[in-house]
Amino acid sequence: MIGAILEARALTKRFGGLVAVDDVDLLVNRNTVHSLIGPNGAGKTTVFNLLCGLMASDGGTVTFEGRDIGVLPFHRITLEGIGRSFQRTQVFPDLTTFENVRVAAQTRQPRRLSPFRVPRGSDPGSDTAYRALEIVGLADRATERADILSHGEQRALDVAIALATQPRLLLLDEPTSGLSVGEVANMTDLVNRLRSELAMTVLLVEHNVNLVMNISDVITVLHQGRVLEEGSPDAIRGSRAVAEAYLGTDA
């Protein structure tokens, strides 16, 4: 399927006098990897938080698969089909790796909040959870507590939790932050497989420019809360405005 899965129009967010996100338009096409890059403080994470409802915007609309989701509270966005990972790893430390993803998969199960229904190994949610662990390569760690996993494994678990909610659009906030070279390669491979094998759309905030250039279909460059440039990796690489934003006007 071709066409936009997510469309943001005139998105604006102010923190007091600071305009963190200023009239940003963003169009994410189905089954693509779309990256948001920009220097520190460009407003990338704020855009993310506006898209997934964690912050209320001061203007603009967000449409997901044709539905206006700008008004929905944070927890409802997941049910619409948007999963997200966090810049600072967010897992459930005291639970097993498996329970971390199982409880996420529970969100798509019938009677997901029922006080009478006890989860069982035969639930479809358990299969979803196990598959999410397999995709990120944590299946053999399933019975370990999440807090004894390495940093890299916890980053992967963060993604697996988002996957277990069965999203069609995945928002990844700096998935490679703090990862070793080998782990970055794994994460790159993972993002590629999400698009090619699972037909997922991925919106990525990332600092690792090499990674972004390798895996993105479209790159949007934010600078001081505005969209500076948008295009294919090659177009961005050749853009003079982007080079100036990153390196200063003398570059």
Partner 1 sequence: MKSGPRSDARAPRNGVPLEQLRPLWSAGLVLTLVLLPLCLWREDMIFELNFLTGMLIWGLLALSLDLVWGYGGMISLGQGVFFGAGGYAMAWFLTGGITHRVGRAPDPELLAPLFGLGVGIALAVVLALGIAFLCFRSRVGGLFFAIVTLALAVTAKLLVITWRPVTGGDNGIINIPRLFRVDPEPELSQYFIVLAAVLAAYWICRRLVASHFGRVLTAIRENELRASSIGFNVNLAKTLIFGVAAAIAALAGALFAPYNGNVNPIHIGFETGAIVLIWVAIGGRGFLLGAFIGTFLVQYVRFYMTDIIAPFMSVTTANSVWPLIFGFVFLGVILLYPDGMMGLVHRIGAWRVPLPESLRRALARANGADALPRPRAVEGARTPPSGSAP
User: Out of 13, 102, 155, 168, which residue is the one contacting partner 1 (CB under 8 A)?
Assistant: 102
CB 141 within 8 A of CB 153: yes
CA dihedral 75, 77, 81, 87 (to 10 degrees): -80
Specify the stretch interacting with partner 1 by CB under 8 A; choose among 3-11, 18-26, 103-111, 235-243: 103-111
126 binds partner 1 (CB under 8 A): yes
17 binds partner 1 (CB under 8 A): no
54 versus 243: smaller Cβ distance to partner 1:
54
146 versus 218: smaller Cβ distance to partner 1:
146
Site string for partner 1, 49-88 (x = CB under 8 A): ---x-x------------------xxxx-xx---xx-x--
Largest CA distance in the chain: 66
What is the C-alpha to C-alpha distance for residues 176 and 218, in angstroms, rounded to an integer?
19
Distances (CA, A) of 227 to 10, 43, 104, 141, 222: 11, 10, 33, 41, 5
Distances (CA, A) of 21 to 51, 63, 110, 194: 12, 17, 38, 28
Q: Which of residues 127-156 bind partner 1 (CB under 8 A)?
A: 129-130, 133, 139-140, 142-143
Specify the stretch interacting with partner 1 by CB under 8 A; choose among 111-119, 183-191, 194-202, 215-223: 111-119
For residue 132, the surrounding DSSP H or E stretch is: helix 124-136
Binding site for partner 1 (CB under 8 A): 52, 54, 73-76, 78-79, 83-84, 86, 90-96, 98-99, 102-104, 106-107, 109, 111-123, 126, 129-130, 133, 139-140, 142-143, 161-162, 164-165
